[in-house]
Amino acid sequence: MIVPKPVHCQARPGHFVLGGRTALAADPALGDVAAWLRSEIGPVIGGDLPPAAPGPGTITFALDDLPREAYRLTVAQDGVRIAAGGPAGAFYAAQSLRQLMPPAAYRKAGPGGELEIPAVHIEDEPRFGWRGCLLDVARHFMPKHDVLRFVDLMAMHKLNVLHLHLTDDQGWRVEIRRHPRLTEVGAWRAQSQTGWNGPLDGRPHGGYYTQDDLREIVAYAARRHITVVPEIDLPGHTQAAIAAYPELGNLDTPLGVRTGWGVGVNVLNAEDSTVKFFQDVFDEVLELFPSPYVCVGGDECPKDQWRDSPAAQRRIRELGLRDEEELQSWFIHQFDAYLTARGRRLVGWDEILEGGLAPGAVVASWRGDLGAVAAARNGHDVISTPSTSVYFDYRQGPGEDEPVPFGTVLSLEDVYAFEPIPAELRGDPAAERVLGSQCAVWTELIDSPRQVDYMAFPRLTAFAETVWSTADRDAADFLRRLEAHLDRLDAIGVEYRRESGPLPWQTRPGVPGRPESADTWQRKIDAWTGNLRRS
C-alpha cells in the first residue's frame, strides 16, 4: 500500500505492535532520522519511544553497504529493522514505515495506545536523483508556516528538491540586506488581477521571507533530505525589482510592482551596474542556500525594450554582440561565470540554450522535449519539466467548474503516465544526462495554500511515483494504493481534489481562467521553440 511504489515489497505473516515504550536503536550516523520518527510518532501514541541498544521489540536503524538513498525495511513480530546506505535512505525507510501504520499515524496527536504494523520485507531505492517540485511564492506569497507544511508533504512522497521561485514581476520575496527596497517596495503590490484577465481586485497582496525565515526553511528541508534550490529570475520577470530600483530598468517612467499576469515587457537593462547589483543579491542568496544548484531563470525575456533603448543598443555594440538575442545570452553568461567561480552550478530554463552555455550549466526543460534533447546531446545535465505533463497550475479536468481553468487538461492519469526521459533519448547514452524531473506549482491563479492543496494533490502523489519507482507503471494498481494514501492526506488535512471534481466550495465561479486546447498549446510550443530549433 506504499506510495511511491517500492522496488520490491513482500508481505509476511504477523505484525509488529508499536507502543509508547517501543525503543529506537540507531547507528549514530542515523540518530537524527530516529529522532525525527520519535518526534512524529511519539505524540500519536502518547509515548516517548526511548533510545536503546538493539534488541528484541525495538526499531533498529543500521548502516549497510547500499547506495546513499537505498534502504531495506523488515517488519517482523519481534522488531523492525532498517538497513540504509545513509541518512537519506534511512529517512525514506522511516517514511515507508509510517505508511505501513494506520492513517492516524499522520495526525499531530492521537488517542494514545498501540499501532499495528503488518510484517513485510521491502527493498527500495529511487530511479532518479532529482525528484523536485517548484513552488512559485512570487505570484502569490505563501506564508512560511505553509511552506514548512509543504516540505513535509514532499518528504512524505520521497521528493528531494524544492525549487523556490522567489522573485517575479509581481513580487520579490527574499530579504536582501544590501538592497532593502527589494522587499520594502518589491514585496507588495496594490492589487491583483482576478483570474487570468478579469478586473483588478482592489486588495493589496504581498509578503516576504526574512533571511532567518529562509535559513529555517533550508534547515527544516535539509532534515527531511530536501535541497532547496533558490531561483532569482532574470533578466525578464523582474518588474518588482525595477519598481524598487528604477535604475535597473530601461525606462525613465517609474513602474509599480506588476498587478497583472502573462509575460511582462519590463526587463533589466544590460549595464555593468545592473549585473553587479544582482551579483550582490546572489552573494546573500548563496549564504542562505547551500544548494550546489542555483537557478537564475532566463525564461520569457521579451526583447522589445532592448530594441527600443539607445543604451541597450550601445551595449550590444560595445560588447561586440550581434543582436538582442545575444545580449540575453551574454547576461546569463555573466551569472554562469559568477556561480562557477563560487563552486555552484547554474540552473536555467531552456531559453538559456539559445546562446551556448558553460559546461556545468543545468537546463530545466519546460517547453516540450526539445530543450531536454538538445541540452543532453550537448553534454548538459537536464531537469525534465514539460509543462503539459507536470505543471500543476493546469486544470485537472475539462469541467467548467475547475478552479481556475488554465492551460490544457492535465489529469491525475496523465501525470502518472508521464515519462521523464524524452522518447527521442531512449536508448541514447545522452539519456544519462536527465537528472530527473520536477513538477511545478505556478501560482498566478492559485491564491492561497488551500488552492495549492487542491491543485497539487493528488497529482503530486502520481508524480512522486513516476520519479521514484522503477516498477512498470500500472495505473489500476496505483489508483488502488492511492485510495489508502488519500486517507493519510485526510489525516494531515490536505484539501486534495476528489475524483468527482471540485467540491462546491472549491469552485470559483465567474473567475476568468485561460483554458486552452492541446492543439493550441502545441502550436504555441512550436512557435516559442523556433529560436531553439534554429540555434
Could you list the active site residues?
Answer: 168, 237, 300
Q: Pick out residues in 336-375 that bind ligand TNX (CB under 6 A).
A: 349, 366
Instruction: List the one residue from 61, 278, 416, 442 that touches ligand TNX (CB under 6 A).
Output: 442
Compute the least distance from the CB of residue 392 to ligand TNX, in Å: 9
* The three three-digit cell numbers of residue 120, written as one number: 513485510
Residue 496: CB partners within 8 Å, gap ≥ 6?
453, 454, 456, 457, 458, 486, 489
Instruction: List the one residue from 40, 146, 300, 401 that touches ligand TNX (CB under 6 A).
Output: 300
Judged by beta carbon, residue 127 or residue 395, the one nearer ligand TNX is 395
Residue 482: CB partners within 8 Å, gap ≥ 6?
3, 458, 461, 462
Instruction: List the one residue from 393, 447, 465, 516 that touches ligand TNX (CB under 6 A).
Output: 393
Cβ neighbours of 101 (radius 10 Å): 18
Compute the least distance from the CB of residue 366 to ligand TNX, in Å: 4
Residue 299 in the binding site for ligand TNX (CB under 6 A)? yes
The Cα 165–Cα 296 span in angstroms is 10
The Cα 347–Cα 403 span in angstroms is 31
The Cα 236–Cα 532 span in angstroms is 18
Judged by beta carbon, residue 221 or residue 410, the one nearer ligand TNX is 410
Decide if 361 contacts 355 (C-beta within 8 A): no
Percentages (nearest 5) of helix, strand, coil residues in the chain: 40, 20, 40
Compute the least distance from the CB of residue 274 to ligand TNX, in Å: 21
Residue 454: CB partners within 8 Å, gap ≥ 6?
403, 495, 496, 497, 502, 506
Strand duo 115-124 + 161-165: pairing: unpaired
Compute the least distance from the CB of residue 394 to ligand TNX, in Å: 7
Compute the least distance from the CB of residue 184 to ligand TNX, in Å: 24
Instruction: List the one residue from 208, 335, 338, 391 that touches ligand TNX (CB under 6 A).
Output: 391
Can you tell me which residue has the cell 527574499? 174
Residue 418 in the binding site for ligand TNX (CB under 6 A)? no
Judged by beta carbon, residue 73 or residue 446, the one nearer ligand TNX is 446
Residue 341: CB partners within 8 Å, gap ≥ 6?
none
Nearest to 157 by CA among 377, 485, 522, 518: 485
* Residue 331: its H or E element: helix 324-341
Decide if 91 contacts 225 (C-beta within 8 A): yes
Residue 463 in the binding site for ligand TNX (CB under 6 A)? no
Return the HEC string of 105-161.
Answer: HHCCCCCCCCEEEEEEEEEECCCCCEEEEEEECCCCCCCHHHHHHHHHHHHHCCCCE
Compute the least distance from the CB of residue 297 to ligand TNX, in Å: 7
Residue 97: CB partners within 8 Å, gap ≥ 6?
37, 59, 73, 75, 80, 82, 117
> How distant is the alpha carbon of residue 258 from its chain centre?
24
Compute the least distance from the CB of residue 217 to ligand TNX, in Å: 21
Burial grade of 358 (CB within 10 A; 0-12, 13-18, 19 or more)? middle
User: What is the sign of the dihedral through the CA atoms of 191, 194, 200 and 201?
Assistant: negative
The Cα 294–Cα 159 span in angstroms is 18
Residue 331 in the binding site for ligand TNX (CB under 6 A)? no
Judged by beta carbon, residue 299 or residue 465, the one nearer ligand TNX is 299
Q: Pick out residues in 117-136 that bind ligand TNX (CB under 6 A).
A: none
Compute the least distance from the CB of residue 248 to ligand TNX, in Å: 19
Decide if 394 contacts 407 (C-beta within 8 A): yes
Compute the least distance from the CB of residue 25 to ligand TNX, in Å: 46
Residue 196 in the binding site for ligand TNX (CB under 6 A)? no
Compute the least distance from the CB of residue 168 to ligand TNX, in Å: 7
Judged by beta carbon, residue 125 or residue 299, the one nearer ligand TNX is 299
Size of the site for ligand TNX (CB under 6 A): 8
Residue 14: CB partners within 8 Å, gap ≥ 6?
76, 77, 118, 119
Judged by beta carbon, residue 75 or residue 147, the one nearer ligand TNX is 147
Helix (H, G, I), strand (E, B) or coil at 416: helix
Which residues sit at the interface with ligand TNX, rule CB under 6 A?
299-300, 349, 366, 391, 393, 442, 444
